[in-house]
Amino acid sequence: MRVSVVRKNIKFTPDSRRVVARYFMNGNERTQQMVLRIMMLNEKQVLQTLEQTLREFARRHRNISAVFFRHCERIRPIIEAMKIDYEGMSLDRKMLIGSYCTMEYAIESAAIFNPSIVEDFDQTGLEAGEKRVVISFRATGEGHISSIVFRRGILDRDNNLHIMKIGNHIDKAEIEHKTLFNKERFLTKLSEMHTTDKYITQIMQDLPDEFEFAILKNILNTALSDPIIREERKTALQEILWLANSFYDIQFKHDSDITERVIFPISDSESRGIEDARFVRFVDDDNSVRVMATYTAYNGHTILPKLISTEDFYSFRVMPLHGAGAQNKNLALFPRKIKGKYAMLARIDGVNNYIMYSDRATQWNTPILLQEPRYTWELTQIGNCGSPLWTEEGWLVITHGVGTMRRYCIGASLFDLDDPSKEIGRLTEPLLSPLEDEREGYVPNVVYSCGAIIHNDSLILPYAVSDYCSTYGVVNLAELLDALKKSK
């Protein structure tokens, strides 16, 4: 007998009105031609064109003129290479050039899916039985480029979700890259990425044990500027550069609402998207609290598992994951240490569930096989649907399984608290399968989640509908745990 799920009548759908001002580069030659044409305008024409642009776009973005100026700064080397006096140009002309290097991008135009949910840091001003939550989504726009967006809401005593109003603008964060690297760890990650050894040696051999990002970047850019560079060498050098670019901090302005903050692809390693962030409220041994998430960075041909961490949803630290276990997709961090070590679920072979332990949140080795596909609805693969949830009966892990016709269903398993490599129980039937009205979407026949929470003795399970939109369901926790314990 299946465990009952109450599907709630709320739906998060794509909204093409939610746009960011994105840097637009049309190639060096065409950019030079564009700059030459703008330089032929007199100051009156410059001001007139700029004012018209600002009238049409200023209300759609926060401080769009500053965005224009930043984007002009990005092509400053091109302008100066044209023997144009950059410093002598008027601010209006620089902003106008920047406007031609800017485009709007609708971050949610295609889909808003694969949600996760965590308890908000601020739980003040609530009534009994209420909880303030933050829900993250994978937002996808033109070209299937994915980013992370947020919604804030309150779960009431009846497990109804009340979503706060969405802000008017969308802000991308300020970025600060890591400046100093450990050579040994850097080389280890390059080896895990299978970057060609001979090109690594050529670049890295003369660097000290601790080297600066700027030095490595200059060496790589010089090598990449070689007009007769071989394609194999070019690919290897680009991989070294995008690994270095993958360590950074991001900072949002404090006058932005959480719904206005988008974690948009920043480094080269994630140029084609940030996929499936699994957020979890992590409580350390000293009772300090962080919200952390694993996600998959994708650049069009290579994936890189990464970890993101925040203590306030304004400042985020982003780092790649290392080790033999930091491979493939589907990593999910446990919400606390187990016997003094971090613990992580993974699916390193694309088929089975694994568990790993580590002294460091970014270093993962020695994966232990945890689960293999067993039932007909998961014979293609099994994986997690977010971080494990602590219950008195054991670690509750929401899983996904892929069956016939590549249909994704959601299941559940229970593991021992002290030794989560020991399975206590596992549902023989899906907890959640696509209903008839949930089958159509960007990817048909899929229900999927990246994280759930427990509230009012219930499992609150947000899930995506066919990779297009999202909703959530509620499961009685006692009924679910009872079914899991009887499943053995």
Instruction: Give tens-digit pLDDT for 428-457.
Output: 999 999 999 999 999 999 999 999 999 999
| 358-413 pLDDT per residue, tens | 999 988 999 999 999 999 999 999 999 999 999 999 999 999 999 999 999 999 99
pLDDT at 151 over 70: yes
Q: Which residue among 106, 132, 156 closes a domain?
A: 106
Residues 207 and 353 in one domain: no
Residues 117 and 101 in one domain: no
Give residue 465's pLDDT band: very low, low, confident or very high (50, 70, 90): very high
Q: Rounded to an integer, what distance in angstroms lies between the CA atom of residue 351 and that of residue 178?
A: 34
Lowest mean pLDDT among 145-149, 173-177, 190-194: 190-194
Give residue 313's Cα distance to chain centre.
Answer: 14
**In a domain? residue 401:** yes
Residues 472 and 392 in one domain: yes
pLDDT top residue among 171 and 416: 416
**In a domain? residue 353:** yes
Give residue 126's Cα distance to chain centre.
Answer: 30
Residues 91 and 143 in one domain: no
Kindly list the distances between the CA atom of residue 398 and the CA atoms of 91, 345, 448, 485, in Å, as whole numbers in the listed order.
55, 11, 10, 15
Residues 242 and 192 in one domain: yes
Lowest mean pLDDT among 23-27, 60-64, 188-192, 481-485: 188-192
Q: Rounded to an integer, what distance in angstroms lies between the CA atom of residue 135 and that of residue 144?
A: 21
pLDDT at 1 over 70: no
pLDDT for residue 268: 65
Can you give the pTM of this predicted structure?
A: 0.89
Average pLDDT over residues 325-336: 93
Counting the structural domains of the chain, the total is 3
pLDDT at 192 over 70: yes
**In a domain? residue 255:** no
pLDDT at 60 over 70: yes
pLDDT for residue 72: 98
Residues 332 and 299 in one domain: yes
pLDDT for residue 254: 92
452 close to 386: Cβ distance less than 8 angstroms: yes
pLDDT at 339 over 70: yes
pLDDT for residue 176: 86
**In a domain? residue 253:** no
| 258-304 pLDDT per residue, tens | 999 999 887 666 778 899 999 999 999 999 999 999 998 887 777 88
pLDDT top residue among 374 and 179: 374
Q: Which residue among 59, 77, 106 closes a domain?
A: 106
pLDDT for residue 191: 83
Residues 314 and 371 in one domain: yes
Coil vs helix vs strand at 103: strand
Q: Which domain holds residue 41?
A: 23-106
Give residue 188's pLDDT band: very low, low, confident or very high (50, 70, 90): confident
- With b for 16 or more beta-carbon neighbours within 10 A and e for fewer, the 423-434 pattern comes to bbbbbeebbbbb
Single out the residue of 339, 413, 427 nearest to residue 377, CA to CA. Answer: 427
Residues 449 and 312 in one domain: yes
Give residue 99's pLDDT band: very low, low, confident or very high (50, 70, 90): very high
